[in-house]
Amino acid sequence: MKEPWYAVRCLFSHPTRARKGETLFEERITLWKCASENEAYLKAETEAAKYATEANCIFIRATDAFHLFDELVSEGSEVWSTMRGSRFNAEQYEDTFISTSADRQHTINVQREQS
Q: What's the Cα-to-Cα distance from 1 to each of 35, 41, 71, 103, rounded to whole Å?
A: 10, 21, 10, 41
Contacts of residue 11, Cβ cutoff 8 Å, sequence gap at least 6:
25, 26, 27, 59, 60, 61, 62, 63
Q: Is the pTM of this model over 0.85?
A: no
Q: Side-chain half-sphere of 44: how many Cα atoms within 13 Å?
A: 29
Coil, strand, or helix at residue 62?
A: strand
Q: Dump pLDDT digits (tens) for 6-32.
A: 999 999 999 988 888 888 888 899 999
Residue 81 has pLDDT above 90, yes or no: no
Residue 65 has pLDDT above 90, yes or no: yes
